[in-house]
Amino acid sequence: MTVTVVDHPLAAHLLLQIRDETTQPDQFRSLTKRLTTLLILEATRDLPSEETTVRTPLEDAPGRVLAGPIVAIPILRAGLGMLDAVVELFPQVRVGYLGLERDEATFQPSEYYHKLPPLTDAVTFVLDPMLATGGSAQAALTSIKDGGAEKIKMVSIVSAPEGIKALEDAHPDVDIITASIDRELNSTAYILPGLGDMGDRLYGTTP
C-alpha cells in the first residue's frame, strides 16, 4: 500500500476552507469539488496510455491517449460530493454506487445499496471523503473486489491513522490518495481535527 498526501498549496488552501465551521453548504460543495479535482489528478497520474497520432491543421502530431476505462464509486451519501469532479475530468467514466450506513453504537457499517458497473477491465476509484475507522472503506473494498475489480484506489479528503492502518491490514493492495492525515479519532469515531460530518455539511442537514 502507498499512501499519498497531495502536497500542493491550492490543496492546503481549499482544505482549510472546508474545515472552517462557518463555510456554508453551497461554498462547501464548490470547495469539495475543486479539492477532489486535485486529488483525482494525483490518483490518475499512472493511468495506462498508448501512443497515437492526430492531424493538426498543419501536420501530424504524436501524443498519447488513455488506454483503458475507469470506474468511480462514491460511498453514499458523502462520496457524492466528490463525483462531479471525476465526471468532468473523465466524461466516459463508469459510475457505481455503494450505500453504507454506520451503526452509531458499534461503528460497524451495513450495506443498504449496491449498484456496480463492469469492473474487471477498469481502474476503480473509490470516493469516500472521510477515512475514519476504515470500517466502511473495508466493507466497500470487499464488495468491489467481489464485483471483479482488480486495480483499486481509495480517494479521501481527510484520513485518520486508524483508518489507514485498518486498510493496510485488510486491503494492502489498495493505494490511498488523501489531502490530509489528521491526528486521531475521538470517542465517537469522528476525525480530529477533521471537518465535522461531511454529508451534513454538503447538504445542509446539520441539526
- Tell me if 62 is assigned to some domain: no
Strands (E), the chain: 3-5, 49-55, 60-66, 70-76, 94-95, 97-102, 109-115, 123-127, 130-131, 151-159, 175-181, 184-185, 191-192
Number of domain units in the chain: 1
What pLDDT digit, counting tens, does each position of 166-177 carry?
999 999 999 999
- Tell me if 23 is assigned to some domain: yes
Q: Quick one: residue 106, left, alpha or beta (phi over 0 = left, psi -120 to 50 = alpha)? A: alpha
Residue among 4, 34, 94, 200 flagged as catalytic: 200
- Tell me if 157 is assigned to some domain: yes
- Tell me if 108 is assigned to some domain: yes
CATH for 124: 3.40.50.2020
- Residues (pLDDT < 70) of the chain are 102-108, 206-207
**Per-residue b/e over 13-50, b at no fewer than 16 CB within 10 Å?**
ebbebbbeeebeeeebbebbbbbbbbbbebbbeeeeee
- Tell me if 168 is assigned to some domain: yes
Is 133 considered catalytic here? no
Q: What is the model's pLDDT at position 205?
A: 85
Q: What is the model's pLDDT at position 40?
A: 97
Domain range for 194: 3-45+69-203
Is 94 considered catalytic here? no
Q: What is the model's pLDDT at position 112?
A: 85
- Tell me if 137 is assigned to some domain: yes
Q: Cell 488552501 maps to which residue?
A: 13
- Global pTM value: 0.92
Is 23 considered catalytic here? no
Is 197 considered catalytic here? yes
Residue among 52, 106, 142, 206 flagged as catalytic: 106
- Tell me if 58 is assigned to some domain: no
Q: What is the model's pLDDT at position 103?
A: 65
- Tell me if 61 is assigned to some domain: no
Q: What is the model's pLDDT at position 100?
A: 83
